Amino acid sequence: MKVLVTGIDGYSGWPLALHLLARGHDVAGIDSFVTRRRVREVGSWSATPIPPWPKRQEAVRRLLGRELRFYRGDLGRYAFVEEVLRTERPDAIVHLAEQRSAPYSMIDVHHAVATQAENLTGTLHLLYAMRAHCPEAHLVKMGTMGEYGTPNVDIPEGFFEIEYRGRTDRLPFPRQAGSWYHWSKVFDSGDVMFASRIWGLRATDVMQGVIYGVRTPEITDDALLTRFDFDEVWGTALNRFVVQAILGMPITPYGRGFQRRGFIALEDSMQSLRLAIEHPPAAGEYRVFNQFDAAYSVNELAERTRAVAEEFGLHPTIEHPPDPRVEAEEHYYQPIHDHLAALGYRATRELSEVLRELFRDLRRFRRRLEAKRHVLRPVVQWRSGDNRPPLAARAEGPAPAPAPVPAPPVAADVPTSRTAA
Ligand SMILES: NC(=O)c1ccc[n+]([C@@H]2O[C@H](COP(=O)([O-])OP(=O)(O)OC[C@H]3O[C@@H](n4cnc5c(N)ncnc54)[C@H](O)[C@@H]3O)[C@@H](O)[C@H]2O)c1
């Protein structure tokens, strides 16, 4: 199949391209490299060094013996999106190219607006260009399990049967997102569902759980590594926990730590996206997949990370800073996930096994982690309307080591040096 991956330079777009190429699919990609820029904006970088794009393309040629077509550009420019779809006329489009960080969207009004404007614009541009140039193509759109929030009932896959005042219907399950980013995904879902209805497009809306891991079987060389973010804005809780353990810092689940979420290993996420591509819906069908394997609380993630860290001779403690987010710290969580299993999906990776792999991989990049240890501390507060000042201060890096100060002649309660926050 001919597959177009938007966001091909990203954490999941890159391994997806490798996975599809290795299985004989023809792959082209789009990216604007905005994630690289925005991770720098908060003073961080990927733990794994990511080569410039031409080197990535060259590595694919050398190590996989395949060509990867690439279009550099922003989905915010409709002329660009049209040109790519007119040229490629793909069978499937996997749409990953969105601003994907909840904390980034909560920094201030400008980051909130950029997140929603970009995400909705990119999706609408793709939908219109598909209608015009490849109406038979299948859109695999990346949503998130976070669209549903944490209702006190089981979470179905997109739709549920409801009886109300004596009448019944099959309706979209209510969404209760927890950040401006998550709301952008909710609005996207509505747009994709509507476009399928009015134009007969085929679409799979993937409510993706949190992905973990940094390896897939196709990543056989460091030149093929995917990015791994670990700062408080771009890194997931599990990513931060592993890096904290490696750096000898306490592991820090926010708040009481009973927040539960769905998780899936990177390799299994690739498997499920490929299955979605290879089994397209009918024309006009909009279907929803809840894509995760197991749900864990943040405390469970912290404990599992600590247990694996011990195997590596590390002895991290676990501490609970106040939760910077506004979220239920203890709640019911029971999402259903049957649709992918019906297509033949089977989980192949287990959390502790992937954690071991992460420790092995990331310890090799310890110096890169060490240089950015200050970006792990939570700064972005959901209740604040403007998190820029503390972020800007942190992006400058830790305060320089103070010059040695001679001991004062008398004991005094006067600070003689500035300590890094
Ligand atoms: N990684 C996860 O755990 C996770 C979980 C749930 C949902 N998702 C969703 O999956 C998708 C991919 O996530 P990821 O972790 O690979 O993110 P990522 O930021 O690493 O990758 C996204 C890529 O898209 C590019 N991009 C973003 N906006 C663009 C635009 N307007 N035009 C062109 N390129 C653009 C970025 O430069 C980046 O390379 C996102 O939509 C995200 O919301 C991810």
pLDDT in tens, 53-92: 999 999 999 999 999 999 999 999 999 999 999 999 999 9
Q: Which residues of 361-380 are buried (b: 16+ CB within 10 A; e: fewer)?
A: bbeebeebbeebbbbbebbb
pLDDT, position 398: 61
pLDDT, position 416: 32
Structure tokens at 219: 């990543």
pLDDT, position 392: 87
How far apart are alpha carbons 187 and 190 in whole angstroms? 5
**What angle, rounded to 10 degrees, do the helices at 78-88 and 109-133 form?**
40
185 annotated active-site: yes
75 lines ligand 1 (CB under 6 A): yes
97 lines ligand 1 (CB under 6 A): yes
- Tell me the per-residue pLDDT of 373-392, one tens digit each, with 9 for 90 and over: 999 999 999 999 999 999 98
> What are the residues whose beta carbons fall under 8 Å from the beta carbon of 354, sequence distance 6 or more?
212, 213, 215, 265, 266
Q: How far apart are the first and last CA of the chain?
A: 52
For strand 92-95 and strand 138-144, is the pairing parallel, antiparallel, or unpaired? parallel
Burial category of 179 from C-beta neighbours within 10 Å (exposed 0-12, middle 13-18, buried 19 and up):
buried
- Residue for token pair 């299955």: 275
CA 144, 26, 38, 46 dihedral sign is: positive
Strand partners, 297: 260
The per-residue DSSP string of 174-217 comes to P---SSHHHHHHHHHHHHHHHHHHHH--EEEEEEE-EEE-S--T
CA 34 to chain centre: 14
pLDDT, position 8: 99
Looking at the CA of residue 14, tell me the nearest atom of ligand 1: 16
Amino acid at 93: I
Cβ atoms of 275 and 345 closer than 8 Å:
yes
207 lines ligand 1 (CB under 6 A): no
How far apart are alpha carbons 194 and 286 in whole angstroms? 9
**What angle, rounded to 10 degrees, do the helices at 266-278 and 13-22 form?**
60
Looking at the CA of residue 121, tell me the nearest atom of ligand 1: 31
Ramachandran quadrant class, 152 (left: phi over 0; alpha: psi -120 to 50; beta: rest): alpha
Residues of the chain with pLDDT under 50: 406-421
For ligand 1, the distance from its centroid to the CA atom of residue 10, given in whole angstroms, is 6
123 lines ligand 1 (CB under 6 A): no
Q: Which of 100, 141, 182 to mutate to test the pocket of ligand 1 (most atoms within 8 A of CB)?
A: 100
Looking at the CA of residue 101, tell me the nearest atom of ligand 1: 43
264 lines ligand 1 (CB under 6 A): no
Domains of the chain: 2-210+266-292 (3.40.50.720)
pLDDT, position 244: 98
Q: Whose CA is nearest to atom 12 of ligand 1?
A: 96
144 annotated active-site: yes
